[in-house]
Chains A and B, each alone.
Chain A
């Protein structure tokens, strides 16, 4: 499993759908063509843990700045913003999953 170390890696870890050329059946243009051995649960867990690390790192930087132990203004601002964006990305995925689940649940058989 590829190690996810930054926000760029998180977005790369979610394979996007490929659009097939015209002439293929409608269903096949909508089928995602990513690698079939992707462990989605593993990807999500690893993304969560990386976002957690980013969050902790940002928290450490902020505490150090508050105590006067560091002079790094822009580094702290960047770390905090990165952690916030990572958190929102994961939150967004979780919301989409929940919405999809609710939609499936409501499907009458």
Chain B
């Protein structure tokens, strides 16, 4: 598969998490809006699809293509509760989602950095 393919997938993951962060924090601004259902960002449903949906390689010398033009869908969160005014935003629920999302973002950022450092080491003829 190759290091560059891995880095590209990590890049897409980082894109997803930052967009989701923006969406979740926007939910918090709507905490008093009557009838508002909280939104969430959804990406490719199946794990298999995410790993195997690559551009087909016609030669083993080509670098693998990660999912290009990965689409993320904005959906209403179906498992949110509902308040007496129809508003479904719970501060605690959104805060937990934001915390978890942020942890994943931080992890992917560290992994991207380590992967690229490994590639730089190899490019430096393995001498640091």
Contact = CB atoms under 8 A, between A and B. Distances in A.
Residues of A contacting B: mostly: helix
A68 B13 contact: yes
Contacts of A80: 111, 114-115
Q: Classify chain B: how many residues form its interface, as a range.
A: 20 to 34
Nearest to B106: A73
Interface in B64-110: 103-104, 107-108, 110
B18 interface: no
Contacts of A94: 126
B115 A77 contact: no
Given A62-B6, A66-B111, A87-B121, 7 more contacts: A62-B10, A62-B111, A64-B47, A66-B9, A67-B44, A76-B111, A95-B127
28 contacts: A56-B1, A59-B6, A62-B111, A62-B115, A63-B6, A64-B47, A65-B13, A65-B111, A66-B6, A66-B10, A66-B13, A66-B108, A67-B13, A67-B44, A67-B50, A68-B13, A68-B50, A68-B104, A69-B47, A73-B107, A80-B111, A80-B114, A84-B114, A87-B121, A87-B122, A88-B121, A91-B121, A95-B126
State the majority secondary structure of interface residues on B.
Answer: helix
Contact of B43 (A63, A68, A76, A87): A68
